[in-house]
Amino acid sequence: MPIQITMPALSPTMTEGKLAKWTKKEGDKIKAGDVIAEIETDKATMEVEAVDEGTLGKILVADGTEGVAVNTPIAMLLEDGESAADLKSAPPSPQPSPAGRGGDTAPVSAAPAKTEPSPSGRGQGEGTLPNKGSRLFVSPLARRLAGEKGIDLSAVSGTGPHGRIVKDDVLNFKGGAKSSASAGAPRTASAGPNAKQLADLLGMEYTELPNNNIRKVVASRLLESKQTVPHFYLTIDCRIDDLLAARERLNAEAKGAFKLSVNDFVIKASAMALKAYPAANVSWTDDAILQYHSSDISVAVATPNGLITPIVKAAETKGLREISEEVKDLAGRARDGKLKPVEFQGGTFSISNLGMYGIKDFAAIINPPQACILAVGAGIQQPVVVNGKLDVGTVMSVTLSVDHRAVDGAVGAEYLQVFKRYIENPVSMLV
């Protein structure tokens, strides 16, 4: 019997993704471990490997399809001795159940087709027969587009399998938008037009740059963080002349074997300060505060697809050279969309450094479920007072954003004192 290949959950938080590209075509022989497709998740574009052997009999979801729910059948695999004729006798695709947190994280879900459809409306399989009645059968992407455009789905005619409403049905719909009373999300009386509606109304010229999954998820998480996490901010100035001198000497003695950055020292100092002062290395839950035993530092990296935070794990145990090489490797693969989920999910503390852009200071948004993020500014030469005498020093401002539920003001302040001691005395990080 043909085997279904279903949309895998490539991260604990993934409920849907974009099938970016098939690397195999119908009729190709497939062995276990072969890369068969590339899927754009909420954080990166990842390769999907086959877990069974056979022939790719039929592709059910085309390249470039967005909003494919986890566990939706995306292809059919023919076993030895089977032919295309066997596809006609295969049972209908089951109704997928989206994976929630802690869901299936296998590279590919491939199993014999089942005959019992799930009653869930979200993630409805393309081959599932809808029940007659008032219930609408809509693809997840079409539902999202309709919500964004204010379209009443009951007025849309579906052209998908068995009358299912798909993306093109919404995009080609010529009817009017639904009234605010029937819209999925109620609007307040003071709610005005969004940016696109206002630009269209005023005749402003613009170019639409569609949001990919990464940007949508980052936007959602940042909004959730600012709305649900009680932030407060602590700023401290660190004199980094000794750090710059140590960096210059280490890089000179390396003779090109490696090159340390200021950020490498910041990562190391942050990790050692968390080890020395673990009260700041925590996360909030309703039942308990989780205090972590290692300093797993998430480093914010800007990529063409959006912000991602690869993790230097147990950074307190690693030397500056090891941290530097690991960060370069992680950042490079982050920009290429090639990180594994374990390399960017988790972390106990985040660092966002905009100093290389000349930003003196800023406050970053906490990366849940972490309780702290350190925003690092540029090192700037300015007057400083040393033992009552005026001097010129290089000063770097850092701002700690803190979840007040898990970290009190005094705890955040004491953590910064420990961090400052390490960053201003870089030799102390080498012992």
Residues with catalytic roles: 404
d(CA 332, CA 310): 10
369: preceding bond cis by omega (within 30 degrees): yes
- Residues with Cβ within 8 Å of residue 235, at least 6 apart in sequence: 361, 397, 398, 399, 400
CA atoms within 13 A on the CB side of 165: 25
The pair of structure tokens assigned to 335 is 């920009």
Task: Output the six-digit token pair for 140.
Answer: 């997840």
Report H helices in 290-404: 320-335, 341-344
CA 425/CA 403 separation, integer angstroms: 28
CA atoms within 13 A on the CB side of 79: 11
Per DSSP (E only), the strands in 358-431 are: 372-386, 389-403
The pairing of beta strand 73-78 with beta strand 3-6: antiparallel
